[in-house]
Amino acid sequence: MSDTKNITETKMVETVHWTSEHEDVLAEWADKSMCYKWLHMKSNEKYSYLHNLYTIPVIIMSTLTGTANFAQSKIPLSFRGYATMIIGGINIFAGIVTTIQQFLKINELNEGHRVACISWDKFYRRIKVELSKSPLERHPVNEFFLSATEEYDRLMESSPMIDNTIIEKFNNKFNNRYDSLKNKKMIEPLRINGEHIKDFAKPEICDSLVSVKNSIYKQDEKTFKKKIYQQVMIELTGNNKEKVDVFKQKIMMSFWHNFKNELNRYPTEQEMIDNLARDEENTNGVTEEMIADFINRSMPDSDE
């Protein structure tokens, strides 16, 4: 029971290394972050313009009516009633404009998009810097991935909604154009700063739908073969070092005799190294030192 508990604890503290799957997910988030930054930046520009459009006329009207109130005594009595109505009308109109501005929450949206633009840009640069490092120099993948996930979720929840006009502007500027949806042959590739961009991930709000099937983990064939070999090794040897060494000796002996039967000669040390120790999968665990020792012990048998 205690052995099982120790094995479980060992697996829990086992270090997880960076893989291409981690990098692909983070790169996708970084791409979307760059898109969100652009969208919120343009939204900020739009609401900043609307803020000025509503605020500046109110400032002008308030200044004019304030000045007119001081000058009412200079107005002839016959026109003083009209002047009062005009000043009152301007004040009412200015109040209506201010109320509409508050109802549309232009100031809040302007500030919200500004903060969101900065936050998405910081998130994008954080991932970009991390991925530009060597895997050995990066933060632990578990910690960084958890932190990035929480930050991405927080930004999605806190960022204000983006208008359809801004999304349409984004699609017109950055969308790829294809001759058909079936073969996806690109007519006009996506360009950013004059450069072609391939496989650029866009947010779902920009009319981009990607199946979750594309996010399913696909194990590397080399890694899969290694794991299968390790499982077979454990089942046959019980993870006993002596039995493992005997199993590897059998692998070398089998190759030794098969080579002899097919080519009518024994393999050289280099041929065994190339086929057993330097194969692309490298799944058998045979080392060059083991092959050298095997050759030294087996050569007398070959001379007979």
- How many CB atoms are located within 10 Å of the residue 44 CB? 21
Are β-strands 186-188 and 177-178 bridged in parallel, bridged antiparallel, or unpaired?
A: antiparallel
Q: Which residues, listed in sequence order, are joined to residue 186 by a DSSP beta bridge?
A: 178
Q: Classify residue 191 as left (phi > 0), alpha (psi -120 to 50) or beta.
A: beta
Q: What is the pLDDT averaged over residues 264-286?
A: 72
Q: Which residues, listed in sequence order, are joined to residue 177 by a DSSP beta bridge?
A: 188
Beta strands of the chain (E only): which ranges?
Answer: 177-178, 186-188, 191-192, 195-196
**Which residues, 6+ apart, have CB-to-CB distance to 207 below 8 Å?**
167, 171
Residue 297: what pLDDT? 78
pLDDT at 11 over 50: no
Q: State pLDDT tens for residues 163-191.
A: 999 988 888 887 654 333 334 444 344 55
Domain parsing of the chain, residue ranges = 18-161, 221-299
- Ranking 56-60, 231-235, 263-267 by mean pLDDT, the lowest is 231-235
Q: What is the pLDDT averaged over residues 104-133?
A: 93
Residue 9: what pLDDT? 44
Mean pLDDT taken over the chain: 76
Q: State pLDDT tens for residues 38-56.
A: 999 999 999 999 999 999 9
Q: What is the pLDDT averaged over residues 13-38?
A: 84
Residue 81: what pLDDT? 80
pTM over the 0.75 mark: no
